[in-house]
Chains A and B, each alone.
Chain A
Amino acid sequence: ETGVTQTPRHLVMGMTNKKSLKCEQHLGHNAMYWYKQSAKKPLELMFVYNFKEQTENNSVPSRFSPECPNSSHLFLHLHTLQPEDSALYLCASSQAGEVSGEQFFGPGTRLTVL
């Protein structure tokens, strides 16, 4: 595997379900991100992890719970979501602290909340 991978690619869940999104980066980066992409809205940064420590929580509701067990893996735990949470969730990684100019993105998980 190369780059940034995300599983599952598609997820349909009810409002009472609990599910998790997984992201893995194979680039040796030390920063990882979760973004939410809704139709006709800018990409919204949700969480940032640098060296496994959360450095940004962009006022995200508590029904979204991130977990970063190591610098290569990032999870987004979901529970009691709302239909308006349906969106494409993108994971990205970068080498924080360097002016590399580049965040590498995964293909995203298309989430539908019924």
Chain B
Amino acid sequence: AQKVTQAQTEISVVEKEDVTLDCVYETRDTTYYLFWYKQPPSGELVFLIRRNSFDEQNEISGRYSWNFQKSTSSFNFTITASQVVDSAVYFCALSVNFGNEKLTFGTGTRLTIIP
């Protein structure tokens, strides 16, 4: 069975600070996919990134960066120079299927950026 743990339930930081959201996953499969989704107050989940288990390169997209470490089964997400619009609930998810038919989600981290 798969499991995703997001130990941080809520985080608050002052605007322009950097913040890292933690994600730890468990799976016995050697091929798997990791995701981050953002859920703003409007409700819909917005896809941010996908990583497959064979690609441990870190990725940067603007103010967002992701650190994938298989040795610690972690896929952490950092927002640099946070902005109020970053306030949302962030979910880490795992899939072991080809494609993404069955996503296992973590419980989410509620991030609040204080102006």
The residues of A with any CB-CB pair to B shorter than 8 Å are 4, 31, 40-43, 45, 48, 50, 55-56, 88, 90, 92, 94-108, 110
Contacts and interface: CB of A to CB of B under 8 A. Distances in A.
Contact of B44 (A41, A102, A107): A107
A45 B98 contact: no
11 contacts: A42-B106, A43-B103, A50-B101, A94-B99, A98-B99, A99-B52, A99-B100, A105-B46, A107-B42, A107-B43, A108-B43
B91 to A, nearest CB: 7
B100 A100 contact: yes
Contact of A106 (B33, B44, B50): B44
Contacts of A88: 43
A102 B45 contact: no
Interface string B29-61: 000010101000011111100101000000000
B105 interface: yes
A102 B100 contact: yes
> Which 10 residue pairs are nearest across A and B when measured between Cβ atoms?
A101-B50, A105-B45, A43-B105, A108-B43, A107-B43, A107-B44, A42-B105, A102-B47, A105-B44, A42-B107
B77 to A, nearest CB: 15
* Interface size classification for chain B: 20 to 34
B101 A100 contact: no
Given A40-B9, A97-B98, A105-B45, 8 more contacts: A43-B91, A56-B102, A92-B45, A100-B100, A101-B100, A103-B45, A103-B103, A104-B47
**Which of A42, A55, A100 has the most CB atoms of chain B within a 10 A radius of its CB?**
A42
B99 A42 contact: no
B104 interface: yes
A4 B99 contact: no
A55 B107 contact: no
